Structure 1
Amino acid sequence: MTDTITVKGIVLSGDTLPDGGISKEPLIGATISKTISNKRTALEAITNLDGHFGLPACVGDTLKVEYVGYEPQMIVVTEDMRNVEITLAPYQALMGEVVVLDARQEENHYLDLNVTDEHGNLMDSDNLDISRIWIDEDGEEDYEYLNPKYFDENHPCRIYWDYDLALQDEDDKPLKEATLRIEADGYDDPVIIKVKYPKRNAKKTIKFKHKKK
């Protein structure tokens, strides 16, 4: 049997400083993903404001660490990866070479969800589960959990539409619209909303009303 662990660690920049040292600054929003054949079910994590991440994986899995402007890095999961430090090296462009950054990062199409309780208090994003739901070809409901990309006190739940696999079609193009189901700890009934592809960015407030009895 393969052991499953939660790989935890920090992603740092490997920029060279004027004194010849390495910057070792946390990279916020770096992507760590499992490299598996079926990308529609791939797991991934995003580093937080301190550059830290956590991602369930099996010993022997290969993880890909990416950040715009830096060389991607592949790492193989071992049993002791519970406090790993990953340093990404910046792209080394040759003279005359043009480095093309990820255009989707520049577009910034995202959806900010402000989810509140029955009193209007902002709810902790750790207590929320957000998924896209749809009716499959057999007429049955299917779903896929979204991966919120950014959490802080100003943007409790920001979902970058262009990055989330669940919000893309089979050709990796953003869906024009989607139905989202939002579930919150302590509440029986989920909130279901329909959202359209944001031209640039969008905000939506969702309020839960009735707690579990």
Structure 2
Amino acid sequence: MDNFLAGWEMRFAAYIREHGDLTDGSHDLGHFQRVWKAARFINREEGGGADELVLLAAAYFHDWVSLPKNHPQRRESSRLSAERVVELLGAVFTEFPADKVEGVRHAIHAHSFSAGVEAVTPEAKILQDADRLEALGAIGAARTFYIAGQLNQQLFEGSDPLAAHRAPDDRRYALDHFQVKLLKLPAMMNTAAGRRLAEKNAEWLRLFARKMEEEIRGDWGR
């Protein structure tokens, strides 16, 4: 089975390298590969009940359409990705099992936080967890500030960076995104394994935010 999956992974990666839009560093091939690794780990921690070929295809193409965060149709990204990937599997990867295409479509459509689609299959639940893990920990912090740079946002609100006395606003301040979205993710995980990993990485984000606050205050541990 591992060789079978490795063969498909090589084909998917090669196609993305040739035809994908890899200019967005937060949704590049590395992102797809990490989501696949996380999805496979979660599946095996949960007993291996999900279809790994469905997971592999969904992980590699879940952001095939990724509209910018400030795009008015941002919520449609996962639906558009799902529709395009169904076409792709039928037209390019013709040996892909037809009975697995719907599973890939649903997993991709449901993975997005903003789409608000309920994940009802094991594959969709695991993909959702794996993708959300990318928003936490060191990579999550890096992606947050990378995207904020793309949107010309400020790094933080200098007088109250952790929003202790104001409403957090992640449309203006990158650090506020931790409170608005990222630190809420552990409670939203579908699987026990995903929740365990998310809680660990969320704690790292809290430490990072506190360290930023110390540096903003000029607290050098004197």
Which bin holds the TM-score, normalised by the shorter protein?
under 0.3
TM-score when scaled to structure 2?
0.25
